[in-house]
A = this chain, B = another copy of it.
Amino acid sequence: MKDFTSTPPPVKHIAEPTVRRLSGYLRFLEAFDVEGHETISSGELARAGGTTSAQVRKDLSFFGSFGKRGLGYAVKDLIASLREILGLDTRWPVVIVGAGKIGAALAQYRGFGTHGFDVVGIYDTDPSRVGTRLNGVTVRADRDLEGDIATLTPRIAVLCVPGEAAQAALDRVVGAGIRAVLNFAPTSLVAPEGVTVRAVNMATELEVLAYALTNESRD
């Protein structure tokens, strides 16, 4: 049972590009804080995030007034506010499906933990991978997936399976109650309403670059 007497929940809808920018501001601010800076102006944040000062102020003012006119924003306070806005004031348990090269590389990625995400399970169909340890987590058989989701209650699944297996993997984690999925398989997936799927697709990123190169010569 939750108690909201102290902190009323924000009920605003933010567009995805905004969320991405906020995430970028947060990452820069964390480094800026370590360097010992106490305040930052919208202009400085804009330069770091590749946007404009007006955009930064619009993005932040959407959630309230965090800055001091004439001074800028208090770095530590802004970090705390952004963490709360992005839902990073709790830790998020995550399962990784697929312990191949990408799955294994991700499992060993430090940033997972430092950004509030805990890998609570890694699954693979290949018996030779089951039982191996990756960064302190033992790879389990894929048949354990549904049971583990029920007991460990991760909210996010990261799919690192081959393209052919991705839709089936998605269906399984969704069936087990997961509603947020990060897909590293190079296939576009169909998910039911209410399930958020984000795709990280090498081919698409490279194609965006190829397009940029093809058309840069003009202008």
Contact = CB atoms under 8 A, between A and B. Distances in A.
Interface of A: 9, 11, 13-14, 16, 19-20, 23-24, 26-28, 31, 47-50, 85-88, 92, 94, 101-102, 104-106, 108-109, 111-112, 115-117, 155-156, 179-182, 186-188, 190, 194, 196, 198, 200-216, 218-219
A32 to B, nearest CB: 12
A129 to B, nearest CB: 15
Contact of A23 (B49, B200, B203): B203
A52 to B, nearest CB: 15
A213 B209 CA distance: 31
Contacts of A211: 14, 19, 85-87
Contacts of A210: 86-88, 92, 116-117, 156, 180
Given A105-B101, A112-B202, A88 B207 contact: yes
A208 B19 contact: yes
Nearest to A20: B204
Contact of A111 (B116, B180, B186): B186
B200 A115 contact: no
A211 to B, nearest CB: 5
B16 A208 contact: yes
Nearest to A87: B214
A203 B111 contact: yes
25 contacts: A11-B218, A20-B208, A47-B190, A48-B190, A50-B188, A86-B214, A87-B210, A87-B211, A87-B214, A87-B215, A88-B210, A92-B213, A94-B206, A111-B203, A112-B202, A115-B207, A116-B210, A156-B210, A156-B213, A180-B209, A180-B213, A182-B202, A182-B205, A196-B212, A198-B208
A50 B199 CA distance: 12
The listed residue with most B CB atoms (<10 A of its CB), out of A196, A204, A211, is A211
A17 to B, nearest CB: 9
Contact of A179 (B14, B201, B213): B213
B9 A218 contact: yes
